[in-house]
Amino acid sequence: MTRRQALAKYSAYRLLKEFHVKEPPVPVLDIAEKVARVRYFHDKDLREGYAFYWPRWDVHYICLNLVYPSQMELVCAYLLAHVVLGHYKNPATLWSELLLQKEDADIFVRVFLMPKELVFRYVGFPLGNTPERRLRELQAAFKVPWDLFMKRLHELEKASGKVDSLRPNYPPGRLYRIK
């Protein structure tokens, strides 16, 4: 794990601790409103959301499109990651830096939306014994997309040392052994 990745994880856990998150789902919009100025807009021609930094007043803005309500919390979590990690104050100038910032934001979002303590409280490892219906219920409780849910479970399962599960990049419903 690199320093950047460790900082992304630490920043996510620090934010969760600061806002006393004890149960899933993480209240992303509430936390974002306390960290930055959140604005909403409605435009079918624009993307799901964007964020920017206003240096004159040292303020971050997160702007979310109301046309995509099902994706709003996930988009907000990614934008919040970039804000918390300082990517808008120190923008990337090279493509390689941009890719590293995206990777850091991905790590932040996985840890932020599915903190280890909450996952271990609700999910039993190894996952190979868990019915798909139960996994779908847990995914709905955490309010995250299936691929993000499975990737985070896979990370935590490897960390727990009990690996016998669904691989995150295979379609749900079939069991695969990870070697």
CATH number at residue 105: 1.10.10.2910
> Do 70 and 156 belong together in one domain?
no
Measure the CA–CA gap between 98 and 82, rounded to whole angstroms.
Answer: 11
Q: What is the pLDDT of residues 22-68, one digit of tens each?
A: 999 999 999 999 999 999 999 988 888 988 888 888 899 999 999 98
Q: What is the pLDDT of residues 56-67, one digit of tens each?
A: 888 999 999 999
> Do 145 and 175 belong together in one domain?
yes
Of 94, 113, 132, which residue sits at a domain end? 113
> Do 109 and 37 belong together in one domain?
yes
> Do 71 and 152 belong together in one domain?
no
In this prediction the pTM is: 0.82
Q: What is the pLDDT of residues 149-179, one digit of tens each?
A: 989 988 887 666 554 444 444 444 443 333 3
> Do 90 and 136 belong together in one domain?
no
Of 81, 113, 145, which residue sits at a domain end? 113
> Do 48 and 100 belong together in one domain?
yes
pLDDT over 90 at 80, yes or no: yes
> Do 178 and 90 belong together in one domain?
no
Q: How many domains does the chain have?
A: 2
Per-residue model confidence (pLDDT) at position 176 = 36
Give residue 25's domain range: 3-113
Of 64, 95, 113, which residue sits at a domain end? 113
Measure the CA–CA gap between 120 and 2, rounded to whole angstroms.
Answer: 24
**Which amino acid is located at 173 in the chain?**
G
Burial label, 134 (beta-carbon count in 10 A; 0-12, 13-18, 19+): middle
> Do 95 and 136 belong together in one domain?
no
> Do 93 and 169 belong together in one domain?
no
Q: Which residues pair with 62 in a beta bridge?
A: 38, 51
> Do 90 and 125 belong together in one domain?
no
